Structure formats: structure tokens, C-alpha cells
Amino acid sequence: ATFGYCRPSKMNKNHPKPLQNTTLGHQDHSHQVRVQVKACGLSPLDLKLLDDLGIQRDLIPVGREVAGVIQQVGSKVSFFQPDDEVVGKLLSSICVCVCACPPVHKPEKLSWVCAAGALRDGVCAYTALHTHARMAAGHTLLVLDGASSFGLMCIQLACYHGVKVLTTSHTPQQTSFLEQLRPSVVRVIPVYDSSSDLLSVVSEETGGLGVDIVIDSGVCLHEEEPEEMKLLPHKHDIISVLGVGGHWVTSHQDLQLDPPDSRLLYLKSASVSFLNADIWTASSAQQGRYLHILKDIVEKMSAGVLRPQPEEAVPLYEGTVAMEMVQRRQKRKAVVQL
């Protein structure tokens, strides 16, 4: 038995149906493993992306970032055995799953909840910093909304590689939390305080040169954005803080650049990269790199290099409510423990 998320109907897009039980189909699993899930992470589903890809399934698997124990291996699988503890991204969940991409072994010291809850953010941080921005020791990085689970992963990964890190905070509590991080960030910029100007602070910290990398958590495109978007930086501000040859990695899939923005990027010979959390499973040609990333992430979490914020796991019977809250953006993510 597994859980799937019912695609919202055209008449009722704002109120999707809850999770429902389903079963695994009869397919050729000779190259796959079956995993008994101990914990899984719930993240928002990009239904628009599924439509763009032509995927019209009524029931969409959720909780795909999982940690669990292998129950069964296919006849052509040689790297895993039953009872191996693994972490990976799966084709379907919750309870018993079939792997879409090969998993990696879970270090013994890493808890089920920590592994499942931090996997998505770890992959995104690794992809943003290594794959897109080509991070190197001595670079200067600006992480927007550093207290988020994704932002925290970016900060810790960058500090480990000798990068000078600046970050923004949205509340006084976040400012205090970020200032106490070890290894420490160079500067915490409280964007909720009108006296803190992002451009002037970055200019002061970099001697007017700008930063090598900017990683955002959303962008304010227009002046009349909703109240919850007001703390996000404007796209022109992000481009302005970039140094010559800088890289801007954005998660904003609807980003629009006006000709003046493009001109400024051109003058700086800077680049913009789009961060898609699911890109590694879009092509089988990328599986080797993806497995390397997964293995490195779980090893760094086990060693304490990456220390994700603790997630309060919910039991399986609360999974429906948790997924609905995540999908409605009432919370960023959730972890289900079985």
C-alpha cells in the first residue's frame, strides 16, 4: 500500500483532494529495490510542472525523499541486499516503495527523520553551489533567508568549503539564530529593519566589489506584491549586489528580466541559473552525478558538517493534514515517521 496525492480538478484547483491509498502496479522491477519506509519528507508538488511534462495521472506519489530498509531487491540489482538501510528518492510512497533512482546507504549515526527531512534541501544546496555557481574557496556568497531549512544548508556547505557568507534574516529571532551559527557567517542583514539596506551592506562587506554568488528563496518582481512577499529582495537589487562574473541562482520559476536588468547582467558578465529541485531524476544520464551528491550529503550530515534544523515528525495518520498544509504553503515541509 502507498499514499498518493489526488490531482485537483479543474473546477476546484484551490482545494485539492487529500491523500488516498493506492497500490503498486505489476511492473518489471528487476533493476529496482523495494524499501520499507521509516520516514519520508513531504514537499509541495509542482502540479504545473507535471502538466508541462504531460503527466496527467490523477494520483501523484508524495513523500518521495525517504529513509528506510530494503525489503526486496530485483534480480539484476547487485549493490544492495535485503535489510540494508538506505536513503533516496523514490517513485512512490508511503510505507513500501519502489526506487526511481538508485538509493545510497544510510550512515548508522544518521537518524531516519533527519535523513528524510533534510535530503531535498541538501540536494538543492549542493546543486545550487556546486553545479550552478561553481563555488570555490575565497568566494563571497549571499544567501537570502538564511534561517530557512534550504538557506541553512547553503550556509553550512559554503562555510565548509571556505566561502565568505553573508545572509539575510526576516525576524529578530532569525537574526539571533544566524549570529550564533558556527562556523559563523560574516554578516547577518535584517531585511525586516528599514535601516538595513541590502546593497549598501553588501558593498561595505565586499569593498564595493559585490558578491560572487547570490542564492535566493524567492524574488519580488513588482512593487505591488502581497504583504508576505515584501521581505523578498527586488530582482534589480539582486543583480546590483552581484560582482563581475557573478552567479545568481534563483528558485523563482516565473522570473522576468526587463531589458535594463539584462543590460546590467551583461555589463557584469554575470549569469542567472534556475534551481529545479527535481532535475536530477529527469534524466537517467544524470544518475551517476546524482548518486555522488546523495552520498556526499548523507556523509556530511553524519559527520556533523551539515546540521539541518530538527524536524518534528508527524505520525502516518496525520500525513494527510500535513501534506495539505505543505501544498497550501502554510508550512514549508513536513516529515512523516512510520
Q: What pLDDT is recorded for position 1?
A: 37
Burial 230-246 (b: 16+ CB within 10 A, else e): ebbbebebbbbbbbeeb
Q: What pLDDT is recorded for position 287?
A: 78
Q: Report the alpha-carbon distance of residue 15 to residue 9 in Å, rounded.
A: 9
Q: What pLDDT is recorded for position 228?
A: 58
Domains of the chain with CATH codes: 5-119+280-337 (3.90.180.10), 137-274 (3.40.50.720)
Q: Report the alpha-carbon distance of residue 191 to residue 159 in Å, rounded.
A: 22
Q: What pLDDT is recorded for position 63?
A: 79
* The model's pTM: 0.85
Of 37, 5, 65, 2, nearest in space to 338 by CA: 37
Low-confidence stretches of the chain (pLDDT < 50) are 1-3, 9-16, 92-96, 98
pLDDT in tens, 167-213: 999 899 999 999 999 889 999 999 887 767 889 999 999 999 999 99
Q: What pLDDT is recorded for position 101?
A: 64
Q: Which three cell numbers stand for residue 51?
A: 502538466
Q: Which three cell numbers stand for residue 243?
A: 560582482
- Contact assessment for residue 142 and residue 116, using Cβ atoms and an 8 Å cutoff: no
**Which value, to the nearest 10 degrees, does the dihedral of the CA atoms of residues 201, 204, 207, 210 take?**
10
Of 319, 312, 306, 324, nearest in space to 120 by CA: 306
- φ and ψ at residue 60, rounded to 5 degrees: -110, 125
User: Which residue bears the cell 502554510?
Assistant: 330
Q: How far is CA 208 from CA 143, 185, 235, 257, 264, in A?
A: 18, 19, 19, 24, 16
Residue 27 is classified by DSSP as -
Q: How far is CA 123 from CA 111, 196, 233, 276, in A?
A: 18, 31, 24, 10
Q: What pLDDT is recorded for position 269?
A: 96
pLDDT in tens, 295-310: 999 999 999 999 988 7
Q: Report the alpha-carbon distance of residue 144 to residue 251 in Å, rounded.
A: 11
Q: Report the alpha-carbon distance of residue 51 to residue 37 in Å, rounded.
A: 28
Q: What pLDDT is recorded for position 95?
A: 46
